[in-house]
C-alpha cells in the first residue's frame, strides 16, 4: 500500500477511533444530531459507495489496458483506498456508539470523499479512459 493510501486509511481510522468518545449532550429542542435533516440519506450513501467503486473499477481497468503507463498504474493503486475509507466513514455514521460529533464529522468527510470520486471519474476521459 502506498503512502497516500495509508494516509487516507489512517484519517478514516482516526475518525472511527473518535466514535468511541463520550457523546455530547443532546440538543434540547432538536432531539439530537441523529434527527437532523442535513445528514446523508441511505440513498445518498449507496450512491456514493457506487460512485467510488465505479471510479476505481474504471480507473484500474484503464490502467490495465495501458500497461506502459506507470503513473496510471500507481494512481489505480492509490485510489483503491477510497472505497475502503468511505466504508470506514459510513461505519462511524452507522455505529450507535459513535458520538454526535464523530457522526457529523464522518458525514462531512464522506461527502467530500464522494464528491472527489465524482470529480475524478469525470476526469477519466481526459486521461484517455472510458
Q: What average pLDDT does range 36-59 have in this prediction? A: 91
Spatial distance between the Cα atoms of 69 and 73, rounded to a whole number of angstroms:
6
Whether 2 and 77 have beta carbons less than 8 Å apart is answered as yes
Q: Which three cell numbers stand for residue 10?
A: 489512517
- The pLDDT tens digits for 73-103 are 999 999 999 999 999 999 999 999 999 999 9
Domain boundaries, the chain: 41-130
Q: What average pLDDT does range 2-28 have in this prediction? A: 48
How far CA 20 is from CA of 31, 41, 42, 105, in Å, comes to 20, 23, 23, 13
Amino acid at each position: 500500500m502506498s503512502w497516500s493510501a495509508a494516509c487516507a486509511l489512517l484519517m478514516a481510522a482516526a475518525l472511527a477511533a473518535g466514535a468511541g468518545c463520550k457523546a455530547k449532550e443532546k440538543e434540547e429542542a432538536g432531539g439530537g444530531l441523529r434527527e437532523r435533516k442535513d445528514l446523508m440519506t441511505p440513498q445518498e450513501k449507496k450512491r456514493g459507495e457506487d460512485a467510488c467503486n465505479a471510479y476505481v473499477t474504471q480507473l484500474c481497468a484503464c490502467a490495465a489496458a495501458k500497461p506502459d503507463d506507470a503513473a496510471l498504474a500507481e494512481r489505480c493503486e492509490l485510489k483503491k483506498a477510497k472505497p475502503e475509507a468511505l466504508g470506514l466513514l459510513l461505519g462511524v455514521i452507522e455505529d450507535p456508539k459513535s458520538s454526535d460529533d464523530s457522526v457529523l464529522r464522518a458525514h462531512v468527510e464522506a461527502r467530500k470523499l464522494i464528491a472527489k470520486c465524482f470529480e475524478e471519474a469525470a476526469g477519466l476521459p481526459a486521461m484517455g479512459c472510458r
